[in-house]
Amino acid sequence: MNHETADPRAEAARAAIPTQGVALWRCPKCAYDARVQSLGEPCAECGAPLGPEACRPAWLDAESLASRRRLAMSGALCGLCVLVATSLMPLLGLIFAREVVAVIVVSTYVCAGVGLLLQSFVMARLGAWGLSGRRATWMRLAAWTRPIGVVVLVALVFSIDGAERGVDGALLGFIQVAWFVVYLSVPALIIAADIALITRFGRIRKALAIATSPWHVAIFVVQVMLLLLSALTAIVPFIGWFVAPVVWNVLAGLACGVVWWDLSAVSRRGI
């Protein structure tokens, strides 16, 4: 007796979607190689219906995969270098004479700032991968939110004294409230932009038919927690302006490292 029964979902998908000239790639649920199957059929491994999401993304090819993989590796190494450099420079300030402490402090700020710029360039390229038009522009803008936010925070602190001169009464109170709202909003925008980028990387992982593992989830939770802590630190003048950018560099390096790991997995199994 034949106990096999037709899957109603697969039959519906087969009837609703044209199958001529459509090449499948991977099952979006289990990443099984579905190139020998047809659109609308159930996956031979897990039984999930193979719809359009089982096709290989149009923006994925060997060249773009290799270039984004190198880019993600450079972002991860940049985050590691900034972490090591900013950790060693305060130690150098304790070893050498007081005359060079100021130079070391300035060098530490410069290192964190350069790291932010490099990481923003890398994150912008990775975040916009596979997108076009307005969506790609939003991802690039999200990637550049961190260095722009640091500049805005510094400018706000150094401009508040000048803005309050010659102003009193209700206008002074309005300026102070407006300044405080903007000063607190900048770290919140940085958090939102970083979470948008991390979410985008998760969608790229899904498009590449890579299952989200427990360590993906654990890293995401750690990233969100550190982002919240760094936002609270960023509003503290001078010290926060140094600690928060270093944390953002490290988090960007971690995100790039996860992307590199996922792209390496795709490269090993082939496209």
Tokens for 92, please give them: 């150098």
Q: Would you tell me how many other CB atoms lie within 10 Å of the CB of residue 206?
A: 13
Q: Which of 262, 119, 138, 141 is nearest to 201 (CA)?
A: 262
The yes-or-no verdict on residue 72 having pLDDT over 90 is yes
Higher pLDDT, 13 or 29: 29
Within 13 Å and on the Cβ side, how many CA atoms surround 59? 11
What local confidence, expressed as pLDDT, does residue 57 receive? 81
What local confidence, expressed as pLDDT, does residue 150 receive? 83
Q: Once rounded to an integer, what is the mean pLDDT over residues 152-156?
A: 82
- Of 48-57, 65-74, 207-216, 252-261, the poorest mean pLDDT is in 48-57
What local confidence, expressed as pLDDT, does residue 15 receive? 45
What local confidence, expressed as pLDDT, does residue 1 receive? 43
Within 13 Å and on the Cβ side, how many CA atoms surround 218? 3
What local confidence, expressed as pLDDT, does residue 123 receive? 92
List pLDDT tens digits, range 15-62.
444 444 456 788 877 878 877 787 788 888 888 888 887 788 878 888
The yes-or-no verdict on residue 172 having pLDDT over 50 is yes
The yes-or-no verdict on residue 143 having pLDDT over 90 is yes
Higher pLDDT, 121 or 105: 121
| Extents of the domains making up the chain | 1-56, 62-269
Q: Residue 156 contacts by C-beta under 8 Å, 6 or more apart in sequence? A: 179, 182, 183, 186
pLDDT band (50, 70, 90) for residue 161: low
**What does the alpha-carbon distance between residue 250 and residue 255 come to, in Å, rounded to a whole number?**
9
Higher pLDDT, 92 or 115: 115
Q: Once rounded to an integer, what is the mean pLDDT over residues 83-111?
A: 69
What local confidence, expressed as pLDDT, does residue 104 receive? 66
Q: Once rounded to an integer, what is the mean pLDDT over residues 174-193?
A: 85
**What does the alpha-carbon distance between residue 28 and residue 21 come to, in Å, rounded to a whole number?**
20
User: pTM for the whole thing?
Assistant: 0.78
Helix orientation angle between 239-269 and 62-95, rounded to the nearest 10 degrees? 150
- The C-alpha R_g of the chain, in whole angstroms, comes to 24
- 56-65, long-range: CB < 8 A, 24+ apart: 56/23, 56/25, 56/26, 56/271, 57/130, 57/207, 57/208, 59/129, 59/130, 60/130, 60/207, 60/208, 60/271, 61/271, 62/271, 64/129, 65/263, 65/266, 65/267, 65/271
Q: Rounded mean pLDDT of the chain?
A: 80
